[in-house]
């Protein structure tokens, strides 16, 4: 298995532009998570999906952020319009059905820089 | 509610000496506990996990951790540090079978030659 796949790996954009981050979870996993990592706040959960349905989006910072999971093998995190304070590494993770033994598998991350 | 405290933000050891990364947690329910490692510019990789079986858990690369309920601790150890162990380590707690993970602030391990 290729693991969790994220694209792009690096994104540099200008303030005000729309940014779309993509994630392909591990096949068979039905939970998908988006995290943001910054020096100031560490790792924060933004949103997670179970069976393609958003379960908890309380971590989404504001309305500029939106996430979708149109099917079991693809999710997007969109920022529109982007701002310099959105610069961070964004991780996607997936896991199999909720069970105390199941860990989350993380993708390599997308490093976003907003100028 | 669950929380995780990693007591040291930075730990520095010499190559070949033991490693101890400390983690304390609080949880209302029977927790699962994990240690993840993040090498520079990489994603997070699972080192080991505790899920209510044996309290001493062995992971990859010679790491192990012991779940001590009375001390609410899950410290990560390794008998002999290697240069390749230099990375950031995260202690993570999950309550019951839920999906929500709570991450500690991370401990950056530096290994001196």
A32, A54, A103: best mutation site toward chain B, by most B Cβ within 10 Å? Answer: A103
State the burial class of residue B53 (Cβ atoms within 10 Å of its Cβ: 0-12, 13-18, 19+): exposed
> Which residues of chain A neighbour B94 with C-beta distances below 8 Å?
100
pLDDT at B100: 79
Q: Are the C-beta atoms of residues A23 and A31 closer than 8 Å to each other?
A: no
Q: How many inter-chain contacts (A to B, CB under 8 Å) are there?
A: 49
Q: What is the nearest CA distance from B81 to chain A, expressed in angstroms?
A: 25
Interface contact flag, A48 B46, Cβ < 8 Å? no
Q: Are the C-beta atoms of residues B50 and B57 closer than 8 Å to each other?
A: yes
Q: What is the pLDDT along chain A (115 residues), one digit of tens a residue?
A: 679 999 999 999 999 999 999 999 999 998 999 999 998 888 999 999 999 999 888 889 889 999 999 999 999 999 999 999 999 999 999 998 766 667 899 999 999 999 9
Place of tokens 């070949």: B16
pLDDT at B44 over 80: yes
């Amino acid at each position: 298995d290729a693991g969790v796949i994220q694209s792009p790996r690096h994104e540099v954009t200008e303030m005000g532009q729309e940014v779309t981050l993509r994630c392909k979870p591990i096949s068979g996993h039905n939970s998908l998570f988006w995290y943001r990592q910054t020096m100031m706040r560490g790792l924060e959960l933004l949103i997670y999906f179970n069976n393609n349905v958003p379960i908890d989006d309380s971590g989404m910072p504001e309305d500029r952020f939106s996430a979708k999971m149109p099917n079991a093998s693809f999710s997007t995190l969109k920022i529109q319009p982007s701002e310099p304070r959105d610069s961070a590494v964004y991780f996607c993770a997936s896991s199999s059905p909720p069970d105390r033994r199941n860990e989350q598998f993380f993708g390599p991350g997308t490093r976003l820089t907003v100028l | 509610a669950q929380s995780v405290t990693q007591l040291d933000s930075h730990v520095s050891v010499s190559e070949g000496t033991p490693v101890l990364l400390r983690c304390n947690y609080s949880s209302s329910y029977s927790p699962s506990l994990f240690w993840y490692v993040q090498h520079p510019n990489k994603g997070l990789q699972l080192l080991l996990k505790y899920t209510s079986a044996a309290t001493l858990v062995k992971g990859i690369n010679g790491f192990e951790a012991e779940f001590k309920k009375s001390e609410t601790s899950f410290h990560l150890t390794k008998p002999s540090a290697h240069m390749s162990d230099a990375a950031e380590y995260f202690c993570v707690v999950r309550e019951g079978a839920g999906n929500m993970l709570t991450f500690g602030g991370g401990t950056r391990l530096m290994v001196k030659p």
